[in-house]
Every structure is written in C-alpha cells, then in structure tokens.
Amino acid sequence: MKKILFFMTLLVMGVSFASAQTNADIKFDKTTHDFGKFSENSPVVSCTFTFTNIGDAPLVIHQAVASCGCTVPEYTKEPIMPGKKGTIKVTYNGTGKYPGHFKKSITLRTNAKTEMVRLYIEGDMVAKDAK
C-alpha cells in the first residue's frame, strides 16, 4: 500500500511539474504582406515578417514551408529568447509565371503555444508591355 501511495504521489508531482513548465509564444507584427503592383520586368520581390517571442521559454522555428516553389522563406534558425525578435524573409519569384494576381502562403511549425502559424503574401504582377 505504501508503494502505491508513493507512486501516486510521484505521479501527481509529475503532472504538477508538467503543467508548470514554461512555453514559447510567437507574435507577428503582421501576417499578410501585399506587394501591390510590380512589373514582369522585375519579377522577384521580397518582404520580411518580424515576430517576437512573447513567451517565457526559447522559441524554435522547426519548419517554414511555402505553398509553391515560386515562394522561398528564409528564417531565423537559432532559438529566439523570450522578449527577443526574429524574422522570416519571403521571396516570390514570378519568372515564367503568368501576369496577374497571386496569393501564396507560408506555413510555420514552431514550439510555441500555437504550434502552426500561416503567413500570406499577395500581389499583382503586371505584363511587360503594360503600363
């Protein structure tokens, strides 16, 4: 009986410890960027999303995946300490794409309270001969 009580006590202490653990949390300045109109003559455009770790543990971005190969995310690889900032640079390459409106997404997987965050870019690539 004493062994059972001892193990139950350890179990309760373990659950209490687990619930008291700290978490990273991510907050973006913005989650959408509109490039507006840009020419097919200069089809590569980039923007930077800035985020802050508003949690109380280091924030790690495990993965950043774009919705297509024409969009490439680059992100801060090292852990972001609580209160510090990091960036995600997103480059859209419209070379060989039809002019017009586009909207792409970048899915981030992190160790934050909200493990998955989606960022969006959009714009209008105007044909070379259009003014």
Three-class DSSP category at 20: coil
Q: Note whether 28 and 110 are within 8 A (CB).
A: no
**Sequence-distant (≥ 6) Cβ neighbours of residue 38 within 8 angstroms:** 45, 123, 124, 125, 126
Q: How many Cβ atoms are within 10 Å of 125's Cβ, its own excluded?
A: 24
| Amino acid present at 121 | I
Backbone dihedral region of 96: left (phi > 0), alpha (psi from -120 to 50 degrees) or beta? Answer: left
Residues of the chain below pLDDT 50: 5, 8, 10, 13, 15-20
pLDDT recorded at residue 131: 56
SS (H, E, C) 62-89: EEEEECCCCEEEEECCCCECCCCEEEEE
Q: Note whether 92 and 45 are within 8 A (CB).
A: yes
pTM above 0.85, yes or no: no
Cα distance between residue 126 and residue 131, in whole Å: 8
Portion of the chain with pLDDT greater than 70, in percent = 82
Cα distance between residue 45 and residue 72, in whole Å: 11
Dump pLDDT digits (tens) for 61-81.
999 999 999 999 999 899 999
